A and B are shown apart, each in its own frame.
Chain A
């Protein structure tokens, strides 16, 4: 138990950061909670600690590392070529509708198909869909569908590039989402960015081949594929099959840039949560005032501050993960830092998933409904294609007062899942249960830290 002390101290330190009461998000307050918010954090941490010791005692040999995929009834039909062509066609159709709507549709944000579809239905909705149903985006990707119709040079994909292009693309997309303001004010600019991305993607596909680029370079394919690895569905050799939940994550390949990609996944959501709270507002005001003082306009200054914030979020998360890995290395086993860093990175995918789920749940559930009325008139031409144009957003579809409980439950479940994945990997890496458990004291610290951070961020957002 000697090594537990620093990790536990780290986790406890993070728990102290939790506010005693929910901060306001805008002016909307969360209904009073039956117990103080810090008690939720301690309870969540306790669940993780109990789970940790339960894993140590009841899970002595690797289980998740073993492949148990088996074809499912009707699996060949679900993976059939005609169905894939149809889904690819659907993806291309939706992409074109989005581009046209961005240029032609009136209004902004929830009054225009393009930002609503890109930033809510696609970006958030597909995360949930991927976790539930597997790698749907592989079939729906418009870039993959179009790429298959174009010639290919099939040049070898440089191994050292790995997932770095995807990681950079992810950071840029999140910048567009959270910093640029194009989604709120300029749908045309948003879809122009999508077109630029399309040109780059198609060119890369022509050069390296569709599959090589999709696997490592295309941001959204990599993003949704990581989440899909949590799903029980997986397609292999033209057949959809079943596996255990989280079963795809241990098989994640060690491509360079994978750690960076996952850090961007978690770090950017971390910033999004932070940016809605008073701490960031104060920090940002200081930066904006300073930049304003040297002649940079307040809006540009805000964007610079937010860009720095995004980077800071990624670096903070990366630093925290690195701390856990350094700690794990210190227990022995002669494992290199790089091996450990790659070795446990798959365990953070469920954390990335719950960060998205907890943080964007209400966005999807409430604002996501806008797609129903926009679908009837995507170009703002006065159409009513599906008879839904007069629909609105029903904010009563999910009781707001229950949001916090769902968020806490999701965060805890995700982190317990991450703990199980890390424990399972440690058993394989160290080959010795005692050493594996000792290494996981540090991962427990990381998980408790991420749990505390997630709850604190949700408290910052206040909904």
Chain B
């Protein structure tokens, strides 16, 4: 019996150790970027660009600005909804001629036509897409050539219409390289998607109950996450991060990791807010169209993140590819 008591005492000591303080120190997401080929260093300097690093417009047209840059990379837009009359988020990747992402301090310029005066620069900090390894889904972990980071700028379009975009990335040798694209900008009134300050539609998001126990319908992430509460039941009682995404059916190279990022941040903020992931397509079949909750939010694309505060109001809205930092910043708006 004394030996049994000794064993109990040892176990008690273990329990006390387990109850000790949380020693977790904040980790810089850039540490998750691989060091090979100097990518981590490139991303590191791309995280905090300064407007002063980039050419001033000085009345130049977008074409004139573009002519000052080395051509080569192409611009991959990761957002599709832009509104005029205030800052609107533009997420994008810059892809080199060899297909690899180009990282460096980056900004964007816009104009209503190539021969019209450019507006900018709008700095586009790089935001890391790679989570801590333990939060990577099978889809993300087996991605052959993952995007380490995405750029996101807050762009101000003066009015609705079509705009030309020039992204400018500063290379390690100090030269600039440019890539061009086009976007369609609508007015805020014409934007049907609930925005910041709006009451979030009380949608019924899928739960194990609603999909009749079919986990494969509930979550295409491998392994599936546990972020599947019913939004309609939670809203109004606590802050919510509502993510519309489909890890398996995501069409681009940059939208897949958002569910992983949500899972990582849930480990940090999960006791303060609810994290809900809603799959996108009916029966996970693209041809069957979008699921009801996405229709009620009038979403034309995926992924989307809506952060909703305790009162049910939207405090942040992010479309497309979202990095760890922007995701976390968005969460903080509701806390």
Contacts and interface: CB of A to CB of B under 8 A. Distances in A.
Interface stretch (B33-41, B44-52, B148-156, B206-214): B206-214
A394 B141 contact: yes
Contacts of A302: 208, 212-213
Interface in B177-218: 208-214, 216
A367 B223 contact: yes
Nearest to A107: B267
B212 A392 contact: no
A106 B267 contact: yes
A381 B222 CA distance: 25
A392 B136 contact: yes
Interface string A177-211: 00001001100000000000000000000000000
Contacts of B222: 26, 28
A293 to B, nearest CB: 12
Given A373-B134, A381-B23, A390-B132, A146 B7 contact: yes
Contact of B133 (A297, A381, A390): A390
A65 interface: no
A406 interface: no
A299 B14 contact: no
A26 B270 contact: no
A104 interface: yes
B175 interface: no
Contacts of B267: 106-107, 111, 380
A27 B141 contact: no
Contacts of A299: 208-209, 213
Interface in B94-135: 132-135
B174 interface: no
Interface string A396-408: 1000000000000
B270 to A, nearest CB: 7
A149 B3 contact: yes
B22 A381 contact: yes
Contacts, number: 115
A305 B132 CA distance: 37
Contacts of A379: 18
B11 interface: yes
A149 B141 contact: no
A373 B136 CA distance: 13
B18 to A, nearest CB: 4
B142 interface: yes
B25 A393 contact: no
Given A96-B11, A107-B267, A382-B24, A366 B212 contact: no
Interface in A91-115: 92-93, 96-97, 100-101, 104, 106-111
A395 interface: yes
B270 A392 contact: no
B210 A298 contact: yes
Interface string A122-159: 00000000000000000000000010011100000000
B134 A100 contact: no
A386 interface: no
Nearest 7 A/B pairs, CB to CB: A392-B133, A302-B213, A382-B24, A382-B23, A149-B4, A379-B18, A298-B212
24 contacts: A92-B11, A96-B15, A101-B18, A111-B134, A111-B263, A149-B1, A149-B4, A185-B226, A281-B214, A285-B212, A298-B210, A302-B212, A373-B133, A378-B18, A381-B21, A381-B24, A382-B22, A382-B23, A390-B133, A390-B134, A393-B133, A393-B134, A395-B142, A396-B142
